[in-house]
Structure 1
Amino acid sequence: MTFSNSKSFLILLGLAAGLVAQEADSVGAALPDSVEVELSQPSESISDTSAAEGEVFPDSIEVQPPIPFESSPDTSQAEDSVLPDTVEVQPISLPSEPVSDTSPAEITFTPSHKTVGVRLDTVLTITFSKPVRNVDDSPVTYDQISEFISLKSINKKGPDVPFTTDINEEKTVVTIDPESELDDDQRFFLSLSYGLEDEFNNVIRPATIRFTTKMKVALLEFELKGLSSIENRSLLTYMRTELNATGVAVCLEKEEVDDILRNNRIDPSGCQANDCAAEIGTALGVSYMVLTDIAKLAKNEDYVTAAVVLQGDVSLSLLNVKREKLKKKVHREFAGGLNRLGRIVRRMVWDLVNVKPTEGRFGVDVEKVTFLDRIKIEGTEFFSSPREWIVT
């Protein structure tokens, strides 16, 4: 091959070296670090040597092979690796948009609507199922919450009852504390007005409930002829216990009654008339007086068991002190021992205040069972406690 000049010769040598490297890479052959090309002397037949005159060529030219392109990974080590059976993929959590709640917060009043027998020193509460705020989105404070609450007696438009309010940090519970003890046997109306909303801009609907406080009652002392002082006190204790147990009344204790009457120099002995009882009730600060009358009382000895037997008619009256009128009167005949009389009086107390006794308080209610079951009950009573039975 005849080269016209040295530059063309060097270019051809470079191309030749590149082809050699590409071929070696394609077949996986290892490339040498250098390629040595031997140059032969030009033949004498070459006549055109004008361009090469004066130039000296080296005996050999070292050409560096090109760096192989690492386009494919080396899988020689991966062939022996073991892949896992499963690949755990962690879910990608994206920020979620806030859920819009269109239902307003639920309201719970304590006491609940139409509750009877609320304590006179009770603290009222209003509970929201979700935090609340003002309708202008500003937080509601304890001194602002009173603007949305009203407490009235007698009816919805009755006299205002003074109170203080508070709200917890979570803005879910409002506390209403009357400044003084509530009037007994009185209806009250607790109202929540417009002005509050929850965090989703749902307006809290106005609501009103009513409740009735317990009645304050006192027992007018009595002494039944034929009974000892201890037996008379036992009957009074029975009645006082049952009045408190009804849940709608609170009965003054004997010691409290005695102290008040003594300080006011009032002698209750022999008082059975309504006006006399009303005067005593006013001095005691109660709304009702309970009057007891046991007529036709007879104390005999049973000829079968030789037990002491009482017979008579029992009457209990509930007197309205302010009006000096009877609110209710219950009556029942009885025959038996003192304990039997005590059970009858206890049961009559619940009827006097129109409250159904709690289940099982007086055992089986013989008025609601069949005649055969009633005979069984009375027969059991006869054999277990003959002093409480009389054959008529």
Structure 2
Amino acid sequence: MSKPVIKVENLSKAYQIGQIGTGTISRDLERFVTTKILGKEDPFLKIGETNDRGTKGSSDIVWSLKDLNFEINQGDAVGIIGKNGAGKSTLLKLLSRVTSPTTGNIKVKGRIASLLEVGTGFHPELSGRENIYLNGAILGMRKKEITRKLDEIIDFSGVERYVDTPVKRYSSGMYVRLAFAVAAHLESEILIVDEVLAVGDAEFQKKCLGKMGDISKGEGRTVLFVSHNMASVKLLCNNSILLSNGIMQNMSATDIIINEYKKLYNQNNTSKIFDFKNEYFTLNEISYKNNEGTSFIAINDDIHLNLIFDFKNDISGIAIELFVKNDEEALVFNSFTKTFNVKKGILEVTCIVPKNLLNNALYKLTIGVSKDYISFLAKYEDILEIEVENHIEELGWQGKVEGIIRPKLSWIVNKIAI
């Protein structure tokens, strides 16, 4: 029977929004005396709120993680799933000792190799080769041990030509290639990988998933993997943890957690009610759903975008425009209606974004209302965010592919006899 290598008890992490400290020296001294000298609970944490980014809140203390309890056994591959802001990266930073918990304990048996952000643990002035030795030394490995793995690391990373170049000259993709190769090949008992792998190309992502599978199943090492790519999590991880607003919803078999994630996703409010008024109309509501009427959008789902306006008077030459940007602020596409005439009262507009067009990523939507395509009567910047997920049962490559979009094109292959 496998033994636990990670044990988390009542783990919490609080952050203060805005200023550092409590605002005054007297309050900082009071906090220090109460917690460090008297050993009592921090009074300022009592007003902390859950990390729900969709609400304004009344406290400047937020709990990025709150009261997490779980155990991970040796050889397990565990996925950590949740929407943006759920606390996934914070959890990995706590486990990697990058930051300290506010309350609770973490017990770890073995050395941890972490890949959290592009360039983490690399010294920019040192070459790739020197950084391999530096990372190994940090993990407590001897020079002979690192040298024995050196050729394997360089070969896996695919940056052999630049291995003696300072890493500050590397692209983000080269950084990730070398960093993953180092973390995966040096002899640590636990490998922690954040979704930084999305920087790499599809071929390298596939290679990394294969290596992590070998590490877990073949070498008996423990892997923790954060990703928005449900197909990759399902492929690699036997168990997963579901986080929402810093609270652990469940830890169970990956199939169960993915289904719970979808249900939780659909409970979130994807319909926004507004009272955006101007002299011509009021925008009352914007919402989206897939063909089944839920808000979990997979790559092979149509996106039904719905808008409700209340026009104050009859007006001619109206056009509705949609602008879609990706998470790097690049404009993916712009679409618009023909001009039409509007009668006073309620107007409902639906736009269908076809399936197999968008990549798996987070997209920001801007809505414009123009008069004869000449001037905007209103333009609502980044009014809605839609996250497009990989489809679990999709055949072929499951990760994010290169490019802004990933259209599913028709291919005809004819075998010609010789």
What band does the TM-score fall into relative to the shorter chain?
A: under 0.3
Q: Which has the higher contact order (CA 8 A, sep 6+)?
A: 2
For the pair shown, the structure with the greater C-alpha radius of gyration is 1
- Provide the TM-score with structure 1 as the length reference: 0.22
**Counting strand residues as a fraction of each chain, which structure ranks higher?**
2
